[in-house]
Structure 1
Amino acid sequence: MTDIRPRRSVLYMPGSNARALEKAREIAADALILDLEDAVAPDAKGLAREQVCAAVKAGGYGRRELVIRTNGIDTPWFDADLAAATEAAPNAILIPKVSSPEALIEIGHRLTGLWAKPETQIWAMIETPLAILDCEKIARAARDPSTRLACFILGTNDLAKETRARFVPGRAPMLPWLTTAILAARAHGIDVIDGVYNDLKDEAGFRAECEQARDLGFDGKTLIHPNQVAVANGIFAPEETELARARAIISAFDEPGNADKGAIQLDGRMVERLHAEMAKRVVALAEAIAA
């Protein structure tokens, strides 16, 4: 099975706040998005770029995945952001408001021209109506290695702004968009991370939205405060009963008498070989988290 990298908790950190960048080295998030875009005022863009790239180069973040979010492609800061981020060599560069596969192809070409390290990935924000309508085409760009596309991040706040949809418990207005992004990502082998939850005081609501995102198939959730990390880490990790069941399924299919069977009975339930493949992913994720 392909190596799995946990992305249960993906925390935004403002690039203009040097203290926050330092504190992030001790936060138990799976990934950190060091932000040059929404969290940074226009007059602080240059400072944020310098601080973020210096922090990435300095390291000290352990096994946390480091992602630099640039400003938008059509902004005056993008060229400098992309060049500086490429030189800093984070795990990934997050591009806002990607609405077409052509944008990813162009960025891929630019990274080649900037001599980007081969392991630097591209993540794409899905946060416009056009991105939802063309989601499969954008995800399909991952088939072209030059795009480096590895992950979708849902920008639910921007989607709400552009569509005038309301935030309601259960997110009924957004469910078609969320599932569209998940289907597109899975069809082309990339990860997909849910949008943020805005109400920091509503822990019950946040927990419910994390559980919904997990059940829909998201790999994790983007976060706006360190206090949200523990809940996300717990909800997007396999539960002990789920892990025990997965190991039992794998063990059952590994028995010599079941080697050529497509389906078996286990504890009174019919289990197919596809369930064994699903079980292997559960175990692999648990092991990656433990590591």
Structure 2
Amino acid sequence: MKVKLLVLSLILLICLKVSTSLANNSTFISYVNQNKQNPTDYLMGKLRDNDVILLGERHNQGHQLEMVNSFIQRMSKEHPSIILALEISTDEQNRVDYFLETGTGLEEIKFPSHLSSTLYKDLLITARESGVKVLAIDMPPRVFKHTKITRDEYMANTLISEIEETNKAYKIFALVGSIHTIKAPIEWLTADNSYKYLGLLLNKKNPKLKVSSIYQEINKPDSDIDKSLSNFEECIACNIGEPFSLYEGSSLRLLNCKPINIPQAFDGVIYHH
């Protein structure tokens, strides 16, 4: 009798868990349906309301960069003083400036090994054609061995310096790896809990800055953000709200750290098929 009661209790518990999960998933899907936008329109709205947009990406994804190319063209018309920040070594800034001024020397610009030079050269060409200034923000390899600051702190310092030196109205659109856009403190499983990413550092260094962190995801089996987004046939964007916490598996998991709640980590998401 006790065994039967135990089995029955277990079955009821499983049914309750499944029922709750389905209800939460339904709430999540409903939220996205009600709030989804065209990605370019979404980014334009974010740019109007913020000083800095951190757009995370999975590097070297052609369709993501096609969207960014289109966005550069559009945002340059509404925000002539826009600055495009890229994960290029600050040592390359003079070469970047020379290309933007003359249209020559593109092949001389050295891109980091984790970026496909062909894809990111297209961004520089679009920036030049659109009259957009490009800021190289990444730490040069020569600096790694001679500094105690992290790569993210170096990028944050570069952006802050540019902002402080720019007297006119500015908007910064930074395209970086998605992990750099995280605005939540990271609790590592190891002893060192000191590392902070660009999204968090910018606000700490300049609390007056309005910064928006946007995560991009692709329809892949190892998706960090809800796999149910694959139910949407078009490329979509939306703000990340509390329903993202409800959906099972919505925590972002990084190597050697505790799961991060998505609404704490990012402001919005763009999902690509």
Greater RCO between the two (CA within 8 Å, min separation 6)?
Answer: 2
Q: Same fold (TM over 0.5)?
A: no
Structure number with larger C-alpha Rg: 2
TM-score per shorter chain, which class?
Answer: 0.3 to 0.5
